[in-house]
Chain A
Amino acid sequence: MSVETRRNLGTVRLPAGFNGLLPALVLIVLFFVVPVLALLLRSVTEPEPGLQNYAALLGDGTYARVFFNTFLVASVVTIVTVLVAFPVAWMLAIMPSALASVVFGVIILSMWTNLLTRTYAWMVLLQRTGVINRTLIAAGVIDQPLPLINNLTGVTIGMVYIMLPFMILPLVGTLRAIDPMTLRAAALCGASPFQAFRRILVPLSLPGVAAGGLMVFVMSLGYFVTPALLGGTSNMMLAEMIAQMIQSLLNWGLGSAAAFILLVVTMALYALQLRLVGARRMSGGL
């Protein structure tokens, strides 16, 4: 193999230090590119060659609903995450740095806590006889328990909680880069706090919102644990469907096709993001 590789290297001009990159390249090809190709191959060969898996997924109303629901949940989660993360990120950006690092620590700590534990904790809080419902009933605010679990509400609450750090961190970076004097200047120009927020702060924070939003949206599209535990059967997400296809139905072809569609959509979104925000500004925001 080495002889052949050398011959190839001789004909193509490679950047200096390329040999040092080889192990990483081999790793990526072996563990990322090959499996994706295998996935693609499977989706068009099982149970028999052809595009019937894709036709089934895209043509069938049931599957279409799962796709729709996946995008609905991911969109709702992303929007709610942005709305919740923005004030937190702003607070972190203007806080004295010593205090900010403590708050950062708390946020990171929540990320390090086991995902399953956190999701079960939400179940305890949200279920019909859970802490929230019992407290509200005891306080006389409601007399029937609110449906907080096994529906879109439950999935949104649980996922927003998990996604928040991924939104807050890039957003803080972007907000910190905004000179607070710019907002004072806006105020003296006659902009009310709301006008300064809408016309200055929001546009200037867009790169961070876009970077965090994309990450949250993409992660949400393929999320499994939280929707499986907090969601209902009527709003199944793509990852749950793939699991079901492969685990219960052993339909590898259909599962692979669904996974591949998810991958293509994700990459398309990423490409769109790069075009809209610009690769440099986004990495700066992160």
Chain B
Amino acid sequence: MTQPFLSIRNLRKAFGTITAVHDVTLEIPRGEFLTFLGPSGSGKSTTLYAIAGFQDPSSGDVLLQGKSLLSVPSHKRNIGMVFQRYTLFPHLTVAENVAFPLRVRRRPKAEVKKKVADMLALVRLESFATRLPGALSGGQQQRVALARALAYDPPILLMDEPLSALDKKLREEIQGEIRRIHRETGVTILYVTHDQEEALHLSDRIALFRDGRIEQTGSGEDLYLRPATDFVAGFIGNSNFLAAEHLDTTDGTATIRLADGSVISGVRANGTFGNGQKTRLMIRPEAFGMERSPASAELNVEIVDVAFYGERRRIVARTAAGEGVDIRPTSAAMPSQDVSPCSWQVFFDPAAAFLFPA
């Protein structure tokens, strides 16, 4: 492909003295489900709004199939969007809401009628066509909003935290719907959320935002298994950070000394470190095992508390240096729940541990 479907180039947006987006560059192929993930205020919504045309960027460009969108007003961008809050038109019925984008485009009546029926079938709300939005639950309203946003076959669908106002069960249900609709329509989706589980569950690719910049872009697996920075490691999934002194790096694997004095070699070094430099070692809670294997490193901890979470147990432990460690082995791996404070030895694969600058 010579040109990407949608590209965001060096996007920057400042509000007075505050810069919400510093420098965002992204290329999005057609049909991709890309999620902007990040804490609130990280610039993900601002980037989305620039694509929607609600905010003009201070500099940079947004191109759809090679053509800049910036000079095109919102209502001519032909982009679909589902908002965080319910933005259905309260005085119009469900069917009229879905028909609205087609009516303003002056499509023939028969076409509008057919398309509305198709869209309501897509979101499985055929029987609600004549209701007013106020008579619908939050989840149903967002499904109508989805139908309305897709009614005019937009090349891009923007979704700005569409599930944040819903409870957990509804959220999961609609996530399933969104995945199905993405599969069935093949529409390119840009999805904004601060919920990492939602991002991992839905997206082909995630762009992790931090302070107006993209920290890392990649699949959920990339971000989880190969975090580029300690921020990514800390944001995606659960993670333990232990203070470590860097001793030596060869071929990308480092040898370090933990605060309790134990030396571990074979950890993955993210970046280059000087000998003796203070670093942080990141280990996922589920990377800990109860059994020794030839390659594994060991960590001596004192168990503070054990909680049962069904498939996993959660062990709150402390290293000899007093650092808290979160350990989540599978329940089968750790049969007893009744553990009083005691010393324990846990094992982890150094290749699943990452070294970051302190």
Contacts and interface: CB of A to CB of B under 8 A. Distances in A.
Interface of A: 179, 181-182, 184-193, 195-196, 199-200, 203-204
B100 A199 contact: yes
Nearest to B158: A188
B33 interface: no
Given A188-B77, A188-B81, A190-B75, A181 B90 contact: no
A191 B81 CA distance: 13
Contacts of A199: 89, 100, 103-104
Nearest to A200: B89
Contacts of B75: 187-193, 195-196
A190 B104 contact: yes
Given A184-B74, A185-B81, A192 B104 contact: yes
B101 interface: yes
**Which of A185, A199, A203 has most B Cβ within 10 Å?**
A185
Contacts of B83: 181, 184-185
B85 A179 contact: yes
Nearest to B105: A190
Contacts of A179: 85, 87
**Which of B54, B79, B89, B91 has most A Cβ within 10 Å?**
B89
Nearest to B145: A185
Given A184-B54, A187-B74, A204 B87 contact: no
Interface in B40-68: 52-54
B100 A189 contact: yes
A13 to B, nearest CB: 36
B78 interface: yes
A190 B102 CA distance: 8
B91 A189 contact: no
B87 A190 contact: no
B190 to A, nearest CB: 13
Contacts of B209: none
Nearest to B54: A184
B52 A188 contact: yes
27 contacts: A181-B83, A181-B87, A182-B87, A182-B90, A184-B83, A185-B87, A185-B145, A187-B73, A187-B74, A187-B75, A188-B75, A188-B77, A188-B81, A189-B104, A189-B149, A190-B75, A190-B104, A190-B152, A191-B75, A192-B75, A192-B104, A193-B75, A195-B75, A199-B89, A199-B100, A204-B89, A204-B90
Nearest to B82: A185
Contact of A189 (B53, B73, B90, B148): B148
A189 B101 contact: yes
Interface string B91-131: 10000000011011100000000000000000000000000
B90 A191 contact: no
Interface string B136-149: 00000000010011
A184 B49 CA distance: 10
A69 B71 CA distance: 52
A187 B73 CA distance: 9
Contacts of A203: 91
Nearest to B86: A179
B80 interface: yes
Contacts of A181: 83, 85, 87
Contacts of B149: 188-189
B81 A190 contact: no
A182 B104 contact: no
